[in-house]
Amino acid sequence: MTERIKGILSPVLTPFKTDYSPDAERLVSHCRWLLANDVSLAVFGTNSEANSLSENERVDLLERLVEAGIDPRRLVPGTGCCSLPETVRLTSRAVKLGCAGVLMLPPFYYKGVTDEGLYRSFAETIERVGDKRLRIYLYHIPPVAQVGISLSLIDRLLRAYPETIAGMKDSSGDWSNTKAVLDQFSKAGFDVFVGSETFLLANMRNGGKGAISATANVNPGNIAALYREWTSSAADAMQARLDSVRNIFGKYPMIAAMKRAVAHWKKDEDWSRVRPPLVEIASRESTRLIEELKAAGFDMPGIEDVSVRQMDQKEGVQA
Amino acid sequence: MTERIKGILSPVLTPFKTDYSPDAERLVSHCRWLLANDVSLAVFGTNSEANSLSENERVDLLERLVEAGIDPRRLVPGTGCCSLPETVRLTSRAVKLGCAGVLMLPPFYYKGVTDEGLYRSFAETIERVGDKRLRIYLYHIPPVAQVGISLSLIDRLLRAYPETIAGMKDSSGDWSNTKAVLDQFSKAGFDVFVGSETFLLANMRNGGKGAISATANVNPGNIAALYREWTSSAADAMQARLDSVRNIFGKYPMIAAMKRAVAHWKKDEDWSRVRPPLVEIASRESTRLIEELKAAGFDMPGIEDVSVRQMDQKEGVQA
């Protein structure tokens, strides 16, 4: 069996053109910068505005990424939709393209559904995809999806499909839940990723495998560094620095704020656009966000590809 | 301008085959029974398990209904999805098929979104569909969608698109909200449908236009009768009888319970099937439900088409 993915993944921000269509070129460029920073690609996560994309748009973007040379072994696309046929189609496409795994939301429209119903959803998806290469990371994000993944559901799925059910992303924001999952399942080969780098060190110290975190879009290098060096004596100080950056973004609507930061540091205003029902952050808030980030010493080294080349050329001329 | 739809509509239950694919024939048959009972067709509502259907399945079913001779002027399909392109495509198809209107959920994955973001979603949909025939009924169902339609959002949409924004379905279960909407907008030609017949009489007495109610799937004739006779002296007693039936179904998971009742009275077990993440009600509960309904004098006259014909033939032989 091939080795499973681990480390830091980013729910990659999805750039949009003026007509709100997904901008595949800018997406590829952002993915390359993340990979260069040792961060893998959980495209089509919550912070990717993936739930504002159609099934066809997701399939198209995934194919464009692989065609552009992005290594599918670094890709864990989100494929969980409200409807079984859409989840099956997206998941099948991801497996056939060679993706490391898929991040799967439970069907999230109907509330108060039973574990039996959720079990049937996941089981039916696995049976229909019918591919031994499939690796599913269950996506637990009750603050948004409202429908969550209980410990007993994990237990039942893991018993029925021990090879396929590879792990989870816990975005509950509740460490006691993450700890319970780790204690009960990590030794059975169930890989736990926390949904925020806030819990990265705690997760690693308790048998977890990494983080799939929004702010890995903007602070990838430093988060990946803590993953690599979590056993070092500097780890707690590194964690504290990550937290201070995260806390700044956390004061604003997260997706719009991260896109604002990319637009600023990449000097590319098109990056700030979000698709309805989200809205960009207001001008005054934008200014404050950037000031706060600068005051905290925040930077996005290397993201401004074009300018970096221009600088090199200037230096060449001066030399 | 053509007259707008009013009266009683049912979020039509969607029957599924053994492989969970939608059963267009059984759906057509159920629609015909509802129409015969003076109930129009809000196909693809919450109780239709529409959010467990893919975009393609909805388009296909809608076309099958119209091909089967269902009058599109009696159809108000649900077309609101999480993503703009899917909402636009479904809505466009409904308009081109001549549907009376569409019932539109707000995009419901992202929580805590602003009215500005929701306004952009609806406005962008209207602009993209770009058809003067479009009539939108806003779908307010915060207990399930979590994302609701505020009075200020209605106001803004109505000012911008007075012809297109035709009304709403209020499934908040909160009469004070319905009353506020009626008071503020019904005189401006905004048609309010309550989401349960429990509020039918109150709605009619305050300027509303009818109900779009789950239990109109199983108790259509009696609900339609109260709509026709709401000004009669018998209206309060009729409302009380409707409530007693509704209360029985309300004790069980509603969709599974209604499908169970159709299966029983139609003598067609296939009708009881639900798509994951929903589950059928357990055997013991099924028995209790049917007993309670029978004890309350509940019936579904005419739903068992085949048996009705067989009885006629028998009577013919005996005569």
Over residues B71-78, mean pLDDT: 98
Cβ distance B110 to A20 less than 8 Å, yes or no, reads: no
Looking at beta carbons, which residues of chain B come within 8 Å of A53? 83, 85
CA distance A305 to chain B (A): 31
CA distance B82 to chain A (A): 6
Q: What is the pLDDT of residue A24?
A: 97
DSSP states of A214-261: GGGGTSHHHHHHHHHTTTSTTHHHHHHHHHHHHHHHHTS-HHHHHHHH
Cβ distance B143 to A83 less than 8 Å, yes or no, reads: no
How many Cβ atoms from other residues are within 10 Å of residue A155's Cβ? 15
Mean pLDDT value across chain B: 94
Task: Using alpha carbons, list the distances in angstroms from residue B113 to A33, A276, B24, B105.
Answer: 30, 9, 36, 14
ipTM of the shown complex: 0.93
Amino acid letter, A142: P
Cβ distance A20 to B124 less than 8 Å, yes or no, reads: yes
Q: What's chain B look like in SS3?
A: CCCCCCEEEECCCCCECCCCCECHHHHHHHHHHHHHCCCEECCCCHHHCHHHCCHHHHHHHHHHHHHCCCCHHHECCECCCCCHHHHHHHHHHHHHCCCCCEEECCCCCCCCCCHHHHHHHHHHHHHHHCCCCCCEEEEECHHHHCCCCCHHHHHHHHHHCCCCEEEEEECCCCHHHHHHHHHHHHHHCCEEEECCHHHHHHHHHCCCCEEECHHHHCCHHHHHHHHHCCCCCCHHHHHHHHHHHHHHHHCCCHHHHHHHHHHHHHCCHHHHCCCCCCCCCCHHHHHHHHHHHHHCCCCCCCCCHHHHHHHHHHHHHHC
Q: Which of residues 191-210 of B touch A (CB under 8 A)?
A: none
Q: What is the pLDDT along chain A (319 residues), one digit of tens a residue?
A: 468 999 999 999 999 999 999 999 999 999 999 999 999 999 999 999 999 999 999 999 999 999 999 999 999 999 999 999 999 999 999 999 999 999 999 999 999 999 999 999 999 999 999 999 999 999 999 999 999 999 999 999 999 999 999 999 999 999 999 999 999 999 999 999 999 999 999 999 999 999 999 999 999 999 999 999 999 999 999 999 999 999 999 999 999 999 999 999 999 999 999 999 999 999 999 999 999 999 999 999 999 864 333 334 443 333 3
CA distance A61 to chain B (A): 15
pLDDT > 90? residue B315: no
From A164, A161, A181, select the one nearest A172 (Cα to Cα). Answer: A181
Please state whether the peptide bond connecting residue B220 to the residue before it is cis, i.e. omega within 30 degrees of 0.
no
Contact yes or no for A214/A39 (Cβ under 8 A): no
- What is the CA A57 to chain-centroid distance, rounded? 18
Q: What is the pLDDT of residue A304?
A: 86
Is B301 touching A (CB cutoff 8 A)?
A: no
Q: For residue B85, what is the nearest residue in chain A, using CA coordinates?
A: A54
How many Cβ atoms from other residues are within 10 Å of residue A129's Cβ? 24
From B88, B140, B31, B92, select the one nearest A276 (Cα to Cα). Answer: B88
Is B53 touching A (CB cutoff 8 A)?
A: yes
- What is the CA B162 to chain-centroid distance, rounded? 23
- The tokens for A34 are 């993340």
Cβ distance A120 to B86 less than 8 Å, yes or no, reads: no
Cβ distance A278 to B53 less than 8 Å, yes or no, reads: no
Cβ distance B277 to A117 less than 8 Å, yes or no, reads: yes
pTM score? 0.94
| d(C-alpha A79, C-alpha A104), whole Å | 5
How many Cβ atoms from other residues are within 10 Å of residue B293's Cβ? 22
Looking at beta carbons, which residues of chain A come within 8 Å of B150? none
Is B83 touching A (CB cutoff 8 A)?
A: yes
Looking at beta carbons, which residues of chain A come within 8 Å of B128? none
Q: Which of B20, B56, B84 sits opposite A52 (nearest CB)?
A: B84
Q: What is the pLDDT of residue A319?
A: 31
Contact yes or no for B171/B196 (Cβ under 8 A): yes
Task: Using alpha carbons, list the distances in angstroms from residue B187 to A249, A312, B7, B163, B172.
Answer: 45, 67, 18, 14, 21
Whose structure tokens read 């269509």? A21
- Burial letters for B171-193: b for 16+ Cβ neighbours within 10 Å, e otherwise? bbeebebbbebbeebbeeebbbb
Is B107 touching A (CB cutoff 8 A)?
A: yes
Q: Which of A86, A110, A146 sits opposite B54 (nearest CB)?
A: A86
Strand B165-170 and strand B191-194: the pairing is parallel
pLDDT in tens, B6-16: 999 999 999 99
Q: For residue A112, what is the nearest residue in chain B, using CA coordinates?
A: B144
| d(C-alpha B291, C-alpha B15), whole Å | 23
Q: What is the pLDDT of residue B309?
A: 37
Residue of A52, A121, A128 best to disrupt the B interface, most CBs of B under 10 A: A52
Cβ distance A276 to B106 less than 8 Å, yes or no, reads: no
Helix orientation angle between B175-185 and B151-160, rounded to the nearest 10 degrees: 30
Q: Which residues pair with B273 in a beta bridge?
A: none
Is A57 touching B (CB cutoff 8 A)?
A: yes
- The tokens for B246 are 């509704």
Q: What is the pLDDT of residue B311?
A: 39
Q: For residue B106, what is the nearest residue in chain A, using CA coordinates?
A: A277
Is A220 touching B (CB cutoff 8 A)?
A: no
Is B118 touching A (CB cutoff 8 A)?
A: yes
Confidence of residue B2 (pLDDT cuts 50, 70, 90): low
Helix orientation angle between B24-36 and B55-67, rounded to the nearest 10 degrees: 60
